[in-house]
Structure 1
């Protein structure tokens, strides 16, 4: 169905069914973000590839980062429904490929294809909301519903992933996407309206910009990953130089491209620049927690995948709770910036607690810290989206929303790659030191890969060695969490300096996008 540009407001039933279709496809991407976390340690143990641990996550994120803004832009030209349907189909087929993977390289490639579908989903589905509901208050209500659906499925993911991995094997984590993908495909096809903007402007896509983004981030990831292992050798320096060169060329090109993936008009608004930076930082912390807390809980504490799922679940479940509380409070605040500030404070305290508790923390304490982290994320994620859609011009809503989500994944890629590199390097260094003190250096090869801590320890192995390996892993991840503490602190400082975002006029009615103190500024024109 095509909706004309001057369409009337959608009836409630049609709006509900339309949002159900959007929610279902986003649930598909949301489930994959968290359901795989508890399966990751067992995937690398089964396929013998701890060196690819981070790539299972970052391969997905890298392709998502590139496709989100591309299809956010294409949705602005052609409408979003065709891309939502295509993304659901690609994601479902890629999930089948992941389930059938026989080695880590094939799995990483399949995850990259899955990231293409996931990026298309996020880049188009979230931008459907302001298309369907231009009124700020209506958009807030539906954004809360969408965020709640996204978060509920995120919350189910860890426990479901732990259950499937523990009882049926990790491949069922991917097989699960097949029936869900078909269901999402049906609802999106049947109920999601198709709004095609009436424009005579010819489409122009920034494919060269997308290539430069991929080279910049891919080279940066390899540089971060190789540097601790190989030192400042020729290949490592080549990757670092390629990343810097591509980034410089990207900066130059985006100011000259006819339809840039990162429109200069968006970055000319100070408030949007701050929000984009915050999205990168919160993404790095969130994905580091999602991918490496299961390794900590299973490898250091010795919990089963099911118990690790129970520990991760409060974080993603409380994102929903935080979003609900946020929606009840935000319209009553003179300065809505206080809500994301509170979110970063909670996230900061949770990361401090997780980095300091070592292996002595009780199950209840870990549960509480993960709950606190999720509550903080609930206050942050919804408001970053709402603030961005408030400050961006209407003609840039699609690309601004897509860019915000894409930059969150950039942070996730950098945070996951950095955490993976730091964890691997510090674990092996600490292991060498501990085993030398125990005069057991000959046993290093057996424990050089942390995946051995996820399996039943062979009979005859000295329990002291196992305990030393668990301590080494705990130390390595704790140092990485210290980096998350620093990122959360810098984010809080930047948000504190940001002018209040005016979501509503003094009478309570929606108003045009402004930041208090900047209302007299002339908004820059589009490219």
Structure 2
């Protein structure tokens, strides 16, 4: 079991690091491949593909077994990684990042499901989930640093090639040591449902991600994407109601306890994306930090998330998972409340304390959500249930980024335009761009005001998480 768990930690680390390691390589990638206008899609393609793959692979694992599907997922991830390292144009890199994202999307729900099966007791499962959360937290810190080292000393290509030996090692350990009993029955795959869901969600996610940058929510392209999403998802629902083995059993949405967990995931991760995107903007534009210093201001979030994820496992038996989640939600509200009060006169201490409290809250919440899913989900649909939760995790990032971006632009665009200086960068460089001292202070006030609106919205999400925490189940489905 220890060897299998080590393999799961290893492959989780690969998927987690790959989400952040690219950030430090972007300047080198664009210098080599050109296509600066396509930079955002290096991230977005990965996000889109991983969101869709999470829910589909969760269902396939229920049909064909965790072992087979996670090995396939890791192989797809490794093939995508090697192709990314060999990319000769930005367009190729974006396509290969999507392939990589499909593999990464399979890894998260399947590792969470397998950890739930590896450990016999709730306390042991909580500790296992805590270690997975620790891997994500640590990866968020070391990913950019490790990527910078590779880019500076070797080449950006190797940030992708480095995955291969570790991924192959994980496959070997899982193939040799993971024992799984699969009942041999005839399976009927819902291909039509998978295709309809994929097209509908790609259209919806593409619209959300693209408009979070352009804010052209009612453009002809956006309206067309909404129409495609509505039509295909409506047909998808009809197909799923008739399918023998639906890719997403609609009965999941009748499970109120499961929906409470998914709602809490959506609320909590929306807060996190607000913190990770807008703290660096506030740090550079208002506090006059450079990019490295701004990035380091996010370190307490990752570190304390990691610490409390381990603490959460040790609290099992002393407190119910529901109570632990409620404590985490209270911390989440407290942290966002501090951040919602940011202004141009706020010091960096308030930022550090606010993000630290958010990290402490999420560290208690996230491992316990996996335990809660295992309590309320049908064992035959466990992979699908965790896949749906993983989808909500990724979807919340796209939704949160879009909503916060819209609020920030509404709060700042008119004031920035009033200066008549064209597009103003949010990295603090305006202080060196010929603005007067009064104009610099005006911009700092404006940006701080916009960030404040973002965190007021984040506070609403945190309060939603607190309310939903009271609907978390304390008994298993069989006991209820």
Please report the TM-score for the alignment, with normalisation by the length of structure 1.
0.78
> Aligned pair 1:349/2:334, yes or no?
yes
Q: Who is 2:182 aligned against?
A: 198
Structure 1: which 5+ runs fail to align?
Answer: 1-14, 436-440, 503-511, 520-527
Is the CA contact (8 Å cut-off) linking 1:85 and 1:189 kept in structure 2?
A: no
Structure 1 CA distance for aligned equivalents of residues 216 and 131 of structure 2: 48
The 1:425–1:203 alpha-carbon spacing in structure 2 relative to 1, beyond 3 Å, is farther
Structure 2 CA distance for aligned equivalents of residues 361 and 142 of structure 1: 39
CA deviation after TM superposition for structure 1 residue 231, in Å = 6.1
> Aligned pair 1:487/2:465, yes or no?
no
Aligned residues: CA RMSD: 3.5
Structure 1 CA distance for aligned equivalents of residues 451 and 153 of structure 2: 26
Is the CA contact (8 Å cut-off) linking 1:318 and 1:374 kept in structure 2?
A: yes
> Aligned pair 1:32/2:18, yes or no?
yes
Structure 1 CA distance for aligned equivalents of residues 282 and 249 of structure 2: 40
Structure 1 CA distance for aligned equivalents of residues 127 and 321 of structure 2: 16
CA deviation after TM superposition for structure 1 residue 345, in Å = 1.9
> Aligned pair 1:185/2:168, yes or no?
yes
> Aligned pair 1:478/2:452, yes or no?
yes
| Cα deviation code 1:95-117 (max 9, x no counterpart) | 45556778765554443233112
Moved more, 419-428 or 263-272: 419-428
Match of 1:148 among 127, 134, 139: 134
The 1:411–1:477 alpha-carbon spacing in structure 2 relative to 1, beyond 3 Å, is same
> Aligned pair 1:218/2:202, yes or no?
yes
Structure 2 CA distance for aligned equivalents of residues 41 and 490 of structure 1: 38
Q: Who is 2:6 aligned against?
A: 20
- Aligned pairs for 1:113-512 (under 5 A) are 113-157=99-143, 160=146, 164=149, 168=152, 172=156, 175-192=158-175, 193-224=177-208, 225-226=210-211, 229-230=215-216, 232-333=218-319, 335-424=320-409, 426-433=411-418, 435=419, 441=420, 443-445=421-423, 447=424, 449-450=425-426, 453=428, 457=432, 462=436, 465=439, 468-496=442-470, 498=471, 500-502=473-475, 512=476
CA deviation after TM superposition for structure 1 residue 488, in Å = 1.4
CA deviation after TM superposition for structure 1 residue 311, in Å = 1.2
Moved more, 69-78 or 463-472: 463-472
| Cα deviation code 1:186-225 (max 9, x no counterpart) | 1331355344543232233333333333343333345445
Is the CA contact (8 Å cut-off) linking 2:14 and 2:163 kept in structure 1?
A: yes
Moved more, 383-392 or 109-118: 109-118
Structure 2 CA distance for aligned equivalents of residues 351 and 41 of structure 1: 32
> How many residues matched?
476
Structure 2 CA distance for aligned equivalents of residues 103 and 65 of structure 1: 25
The 1:465–1:499 alpha-carbon spacing in structure 2 relative to 1, beyond 3 Å, is closer
The 1:110–1:68 alpha-carbon spacing in structure 2 relative to 1, beyond 3 Å, is same
Is the CA contact (8 Å cut-off) linking 1:76 and 1:197 kept in structure 2?
A: no
The 1:219–1:467 alpha-carbon spacing in structure 2 relative to 1, beyond 3 Å, is farther
| Cα deviation code 1:198-255 (max 9, x no counterpart) | 3232233333333333343333345445497446344333223333333333333322
Structure 2 CA distance for aligned equivalents of residues 240 and 475 of structure 1: 31
| Cα deviation code 1:12-48 (max 9, x no counterpart) | xxx1111100100001112233445677799899967
Is the CA contact (8 Å cut-off) linking 1:159 and 1:310 kept in structure 2?
A: no
Corresponding residue SS for 1:444: coil
Structure 2 CA distance for aligned equivalents of residues 414 and 352 of structure 1: 21
The 1:359–1:59 alpha-carbon spacing in structure 2 relative to 1, beyond 3 Å, is farther
Structure in which a larger fraction of residues adopt helix: 2
Corresponding residue SS for 1:205: coil
Moved more, 140-149 or 337-346: 140-149
